[in-house]
Amino acid sequence: MHEWNDAPREACGVFGIYAHGVDVARLTFFGLYALQHRGQESAGIATCDGRVANVHKGMGLVSQVFTEENLYPLRGHLAIGHTRYSTTGSSKLYNAQPYLIETALGPLGVAHNGNLTNSPQLRRDLLQRGVGLISSSDSEVITQMLAGAAGQTWEDRLRVFMSQARGAYSLTLLTRDAVYAVRDPWGFRPLCIGKMNGDGWAVSSESCALGTVGAEYVREVKPGEIVRLDERGMTSILGAPTAEREALCIFEYIYFARPDSLLEGQSIHRVRRRLGEQLAREHPVEGDMVMGVPDSATAHAIGYAWESGIPFGEGLIKNRYIGRTFIQPDDRLRRRGVALKYNPLPDSLRGKRIVLVDDSIVRGTTSGPIVALLRQAGAAQVHMRVASPPITDPCFMGVDMATRDELIAANHSVEEIAARIGVDSLKYLSLEGMEDAIQHPVTGHCAACFSGDYPLSLGEDIGKYALEGR
């Protein structure tokens, strides 16, 4: 990822499939392709034919890691897949997933989205028991905990693991006979189930990937639930009691999930439009054109324009491929920063009062250069409106969102931020307005990055490099 990318970065995307008579590795490839927005650092697929399990993984995008040649050996009727952005453990091949090991119960593959808050202690427990670890990822800790847990079935071992683990985990597991989907008792990270033609079933971080492989969305995996997919179909098993306070990450609605996904029965695109509409009600301003920072804030900007009556338009064109190369820009190009990623449209901007809508501001490192691009292209005024509250606290549940020292809103007032990024005015959506726009009172959400109110106590020494001794 380039240094000027200020967006919060999701942990991972996970996928799993049980289906006879189809190329499950190929379907998993396209499932991961649909989840590429959730992680761009590494990708992997593990398969099993009921006897032998195989895995292929590598650094890069899904399309860079897999070829026809390395997909071919991945045979069988069970598969799991993973695409990663590093949250615990740095971006190295030994941290790529899925992990695949041999155990007393046969092969075990693990793909993990989330972050365990007590992973340092769990890791120490494994090392003291003589278990060797090759990576700095809490996902390997999960794999080894399951491999060594008491119990004669994977369901028993999963229950033991769930009784000890704290924090965020949405898992897909590959065994000799079944694919499992597991979600932590708080429900921090999303996970859903889809039905394929015949006896096939699939699980995915988001519903958009189910549609890509021809599966029909059935429902979400419940917090604390274990779902087994095998020759008997789908079986629901209680893994751990649901937490008193469920805590789906609210940033899934704001930024992470693809607009065409469903979450808690709601269209992500429609929720983002409502966030923009609420933002317009809370913070109106006179302007000639509403535009979003492409592409993540487009739906928010459409909502703001609809509610405000100010026309929606495009002022920036995004090069969607600039972040998808391992070729690093030289110093001269690096100094151009966001100009590598965005080109302004002077005819749309010249002499206009622009209402610039963004989904969030994390470090503030891209907002200033974007505003400068608009002014250089002739914008008369730039008023920024943010479709979420100020981010004041770091995330420890599987989002690489920066430390408190790096969060601009944790260290500067709104007026100071406005001056730093060079806008005529800056306003954020209120916490209450955000919750009203999401309109889902049944399930709780984690909004700790905005409020500092974490849904569970935090372990010691947690952080992205906690297991690397940095």
**pLDDT, position 37:** 92
Residue 117: band (very low, low, confident or very high) from pLDDT cuts 50, 70, 90: very high
Mean pLDDT, residues 81-89: 73
Whether the CB-CB separation of 392 and 410 falls below 8 Å is answered with yes
Whole-angstrom distance, CA of residue 38 vs CA of residue 41: 10
Question: Letter for the amino acid at 445?
Answer: H
Condensed to tens digits (0 to 9), the pLDDT of residues 370-394 reads 999 999 999 999 999 999 999 999 9
DSSP bridge pairs for 249? 446
User: How many CB atoms lie under 10 A from the CB of residue 326?
Assistant: 8
Residue 469: band (very low, low, confident or very high) from pLDDT cuts 50, 70, 90: very low
Residue 343 lies in a domain: yes
CATH of the domain at 394: 3.40.50.2020
Residues of the chain with pLDDT > 70: what percent? 90
**pLDDT, position 300:** 98
Residue 184: band (very low, low, confident or very high) from pLDDT cuts 50, 70, 90: very high
Residue 253 lies in a domain: no
329 and 216 housed in the same domain: no
**pLDDT, position 278:** 98
- CA-nearest of 137, 417, 425 to 279 is 425
Whether the CB-CB separation of 141 and 117 falls below 8 Å is answered with no
Residue 288 lies in a domain: yes
DSSP bridge pairs for 235? 228
Where is pLDDT greater, at 320 or 187? 187
Residue 252 lies in a domain: no
Among 12, 48, 249, 449, the one annotated catalytic: 12
184 and 287 housed in the same domain: no
Whole-angstrom distance, CA of residue 443 vs CA of residue 246: 6
**pLDDT, position 403:** 84
Arithmetic mean of pLDDT over the chain: 91
Where is pLDDT greater, at 3 or 452? 452
**pLDDT, position 402:** 65
Q: What is the pTM of this model?
A: 0.91
**pLDDT, position 418:** 98
119-123, 153-157, 320-324, 461-465 — which is least confidently predicted?
461-465
Q: Is the pLDDT of residue 3 over 60?
A: no
98 and 156 housed in the same domain: yes
> How is 5-47 classified by DSSP, letter by letter?
--S-EE-EEEEEEE-SSS-HHHHHHHHHHHTGGG--SEEEEEE
92 and 22 housed in the same domain: yes
Whether the CB-CB separation of 372 and 346 falls below 8 Å is answered with no
Whether the CB-CB separation of 338 and 18 falls below 8 Å is answered with no
Whole-angstrom distance, CA of residue 42 vs CA of residue 91: 8
357 and 220 housed in the same domain: no
- CA-nearest of 230, 223, 229, 270 to 249 is 223
**pLDDT, position 327:** 65
What are the backbone dihedrals phi and psi of residue 54, each rounded to the nearest 5 degrees, phi first? Answer: -135, 155
> How is 264-306 classified by DSSP, letter by letter?
TTEEHHHHHHHHHHHHHHHS----SEEEESTTTTHHHHHHHHH
Residue 6: band (very low, low, confident or very high) from pLDDT cuts 50, 70, 90: low
Condensed to tens digits (0 to 9), the pLDDT of residues 258-273 reads 999 999 999 999 999 9
**pLDDT, position 236:** 98
**pLDDT, position 383:** 98
Q: What is the dihedral of CA 394, 33, 187, 442, to 10 degrees?
A: 100
**pLDDT, position 2:** 35
Mean pLDDT, residues 151-169: 97
Residue 413: band (very low, low, confident or very high) from pLDDT cuts 50, 70, 90: very high
CATH of the domain at 184: 3.60.20.10
53 and 162 housed in the same domain: yes
Where is pLDDT greater, at 84 or 24? 24
**Which H or E run includes 331?**
helix 331-336
Mean pLDDT, residues 229-239: 97
Condensed to tens digits (0 to 9), the pLDDT of residues 301-325 reads 999 999 999 999 999 999 877 665 6
Q: Is the pLDDT of residue 431 over 90?
A: yes
Residue 385 lies in a domain: yes
- CA-nearest of 112, 42, 52 to 80 is 112
Whether the CB-CB separation of 5 and 360 falls below 8 Å is answered with no
389 and 323 housed in the same domain: yes
Mean pLDDT, residues 87-91: 52
Choose one of 215, 247, 279: the last residue of a domain. 247
Q: Does residue 395 carry a catalytic annotation?
A: no
Residue 259 lies in a domain: no
94 and 125 housed in the same domain: yes
Three-point CA angle 452, 267, 297, nearest 5°: 60
- Alpha-carbon dihedral sign for residues 127, 129, 132, 133: negative
Q: Is the pLDDT of residue 42 over 60?
A: yes
Residue 93: band (very low, low, confident or very high) from pLDDT cuts 50, 70, 90: confident
Domain count, the chain: 2
Pairing mode of beta strands 106-116, 179-183: unpaired
Q: Is the pLDDT of residue 216 over 70?
A: yes
Q: Is the pLDDT of residue 460 over 90?
A: no
84-88, 170-174, 214-218, 292-296 — which is least confidently predicted?
84-88
19 and 143 housed in the same domain: yes
211 and 175 housed in the same domain: yes
Residue 4 lies in a domain: no
- In the sheet with 179-183, reading across from the earlier edge strand, the strands are 99-103, 106-116, 167-174, 179-183, 225-230, 233-238
- CA-nearest of 202, 179, 199 to 191 is 202
121 and 185 housed in the same domain: yes
- CA-nearest of 176, 16, 18 to 106 is 176
Mean pLDDT, residues 116-143: 92
By CB atoms closer than 10 A (0-12, 13-18, 19+), residue 323 is middle
Q: Which domain holds residue 293?
A: 267-443
Whole-angstrom distance, CA of residue 467 vs CA of residue 126: 13
160 and 283 housed in the same domain: no
Residues of the chain with pLDDT > 90: what percent? 79
Residue 260 lies in a domain: no
Greatest CA separation for the chain = 71
